[in-house]
Structure 1
Amino acid sequence: MGKRSRNKGREAVATAEGEVGPRQPCPCGSGRRYKACHGATDGPPPVFNARPFGPYAGECDLIAMRELVPAATAPLTLSEASGHAGKVIRLNSLLPGAAPAMVRDTGEIWLGLQVQHNFGDPGRDLGAVLLKALESEAGIVGLTEAPGEGPRFTDLVVDEPLQVTVHDGFEFWVDDIEDQGPAMAAALEQANAAASPTVRLGSVDAAYWTRLGAKEHLRWVMPEPEDDLLAGLARLHVSGDDVIADGARLVGMFRAHGLLVPVWDLPVGTGAEILEEPAAAFARALADAVAAGPELSAEERAARSGLANRQVTIR
């Protein structure tokens, strides 16, 4: 009897195609089960935005800084909506202690992307942290609860591409401090040891070479809608034009904040410099392949299916 009752219960919660089961991970990326997050019935669900940093000219690089790049900075100019039009602050991939923001003694605002809180809409969270930092005099700034309604990050900054500087380590944390001391030096050494070598390609947007252990990869955040991008990549795969460098292989892709991030494995010793011209040529070929539309041949459809099966959602 007990076994039949359990089976009956499982049948009752079966989901239709495309639905999220109560015990499955919530698609918002919180790490919680759906029934304990956006599927909860005991109160209003947290806000979920499938593409929290769009539309924004710096969207792809921002996602890379948040999810892929260990040590990078970029200047941000605030918009009129922030109440501080023209003020320049610094966007950081990671701040000490994964702080959401810091107001330095000089009054400069540093905004962090790799943080520990997640209230369902990173774009709104980042906007709330920025507004809070603008009202603070000095110190660490963060959120302890969901910020509720209000302007998003993209409302508060000028809509322009990010000018990203990738650093070899985290010395930029202390570039405004003269007397750093041994404790700070030890903290920097520990942080630097965990940072993988990374280079942003200059010939295309949001493409980053990295070395993880003994392996090298190219990870490229792409702005095209998912279906269009998969169709374009499938065409290039069938034609043999999806090779970034000799011996390189497109092994799959991440899905992060509503965009796809194709990943190539590279032969050891490839480095970043040799990828510049091939990446630019690939970008041109991909644009043509995407523009060709959604209709695919049987071989291209099979390639598209294979690409779709090699996706992993990280946010």
Structure 2
Amino acid sequence: MVNFNGELFSAESDILTSANRGLKYGDALFETLRCVKGDLFFWEDHYFRLMASMRMLRMEIPMTFTLEFLEAEIKKTISGNQWDDEAVRVRITIFRNDGGLYAPLTNDISYLIEVGAMVSPFYLIQDDGYEVELFKDYYVNKDMLSTLKTTNKILNVVASVYAQENGYANCLLVNTDKNVVEAINGNLFLIKGNTVKTPPLGDGCLNGIIRKKIMEIVESMEGFQMLEESVSPFELQKADELFITNSIIGIQPISKYRKKQFVNTVSKGLVGKLNAKARMAQTS
């Protein structure tokens, strides 16, 4: 079952029309998050990022679109799929209503909530081999639009095809300054000694929720320094660890980039702290 504007439909239902602006122009935003037994991981952060993104895209935010309203709609969708006691992946898509060409006929919006069952209720470290490569055919723009979770992800799609064709688990994307920005599906962190580094939003990386949480965790750890600075491709092979973050996997260590093999010592410790932070957010 999916939730379209508050009503539950079969996932096979013909809900969207050929005039859908998300389909035609990528005129849409989305959020993905975890829900475990009715507790939405970092829900306030996701909600406020969504509201800020809608304002930036000049979408009309309905008066009913409160934190509590959307949370209730998510839980209604989960209940409709009988997954109340499960770990669930949630995706909320917001799109401007049908009509117009590039210029819309209206700034009013519709929403679609989809859910799917997950294996684990907690973030886990995957120790399997995870090799990445740079994707340099196209570049991420250094602007605020690049920091939003819009449905305009054709660069990520083409990079994913490149990764599949060449046997890589993921690719790292670069911006117009040729600095490393992020992975296909999440933010990038680099560890060298006791320094943890991630690209700044000004370089065009996604304004990730787990990115923010990992930065908070590192800043609270004695003996570690958190830097938000541009990452040159030359730094990658000099790093001790590389890892990717997003709201579904949590932390994904990178095991290999070109000839360099990486450990995951610090990232293993961070995933425990991330799980603890998620539990604290649920009980607060």
Fold match (TM-score > 0.5): no
Of structures 1 and 2, the one with the larger relative CO (CA 8 A, separation 6+) is: 2
**Greater Cα radius of gyration, structure 1 or 2:** 1
Greater strand proportion: 2
